[in-house]
């Protein structure tokens, strides 16, 4: 078993306010596991008794439609709790797939609940994690209003640039290995539709591709584009 040290736990924003005693217990019960790209950590409606936290890499949470089309709900990176909703002892309500290879911290659900009882700061961290997800869902619902697909794509790229962007001399590089197929999964759309939308944004000189990654040429112009109904 690959244990996690107290020092590694202290580096996580999620645990920055926890008592030393809590960190020591977490280092005893927490186990680090490798996460391979494409691996499913759990699936919709599965019984899950483990809390997962991202240490490295990125995780995708998605749902399948009645037609088995994938709809990505969240992409989560380091320092994020993946499945705090299982604390209610119900089956998983979403699929979890490794988007970029990395490492996860795994903690038994009941052990985690006991620590939440003992250290209120841990409870606050969990509630904050849930709150962030709820707010992101609100924004997603807002973006379901009728918009042309290229504006929806522009809004999503703007958000990805905000979360995962790296400033370069060419613009803001979205530091994710995003394929057109995966973008189609984000919207529950056909690959060809997304490809055309990206082409339109490129023609408008809002984005460009460098080494198969997307660069936002001007984030403000991109924002103005998708907000202008």
| Domain parsing of the chain, residue ranges | 6-142, 149-227
| Tokens 């613009």 belong to residue | 171
Assigned CATH for 149-227: 1.10.10.10
Mean pLDDT of the chain: 91
What's the pLDDT at 136?
A: 85
What's the pLDDT at 68?
A: 80
Check: CB of residue 102 under 8 Å from CB of residue 35: yes
What's the pLDDT at 211?
A: 87
Assigned CATH for 6-142: 2.60.120.10
Rounded Cα distance between 94 and 86, Å, is 11
Cα–Cα nearest to 103, from 37, 5, 42, 151: 37
Angstrom distances, CA of residue 187 to CA of 12, 115, 164, 227? 31, 38, 19, 18
Rounded Cα distance between 172 and 109, Å, is 39
**Which residues of the chain are modeled with pLDDT < 50?**
229
pLDDT tens digit sequence for 73-86:
999 999 999 999 88
What's the pLDDT at 46?
A: 95
């Amino acid at each position: 078993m690959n244990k996690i040290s107290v020092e590694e736990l202290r580096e996580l924003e999620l645990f920055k306010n926890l008592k030393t005693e809590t960190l020591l217990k977490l280092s005893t019960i927490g186990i680090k596991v490798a996460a391979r790209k494409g691996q499913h950590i759990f699936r919709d409606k599965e019984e899950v008794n483990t809390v997962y936290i991202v240490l490295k890499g990125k995780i995708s949470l998605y749902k399948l439609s009645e037609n088995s089309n994938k709809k990505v709900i969240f992409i989560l990176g380091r320092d994020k709790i993946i499945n705090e909703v299982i604390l209610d002892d119900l089956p998983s309500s979403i699929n979890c797939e490794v988007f970029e290879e990395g490492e996860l911290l795994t903690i038994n659900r009941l052990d985690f609940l006991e620590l939440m009882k003992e250290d209120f700061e841990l409870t606050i961290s969990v509630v904050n994690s849930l709150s962030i997800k709820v707010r992101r869902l609100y924004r997603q619902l807002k973006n379901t209003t009728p918009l042309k697909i290229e504006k929806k794509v522009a809004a999503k790229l703007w958000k990805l640039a905000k979360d995962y962007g790296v400033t370069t001399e060419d613009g803001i590089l979205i530091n994710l290995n995003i394929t057109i197929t995966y973008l189609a999964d984000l919207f529950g759309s056909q690959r060809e539709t997304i490809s055309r939308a990206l082409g339109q944004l490129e023609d408008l000189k809002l984005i460009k591709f460098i080494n198969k990654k997307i660069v936002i040429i001007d984030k403000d112009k991109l924002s103005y584009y998708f907000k202008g109904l």
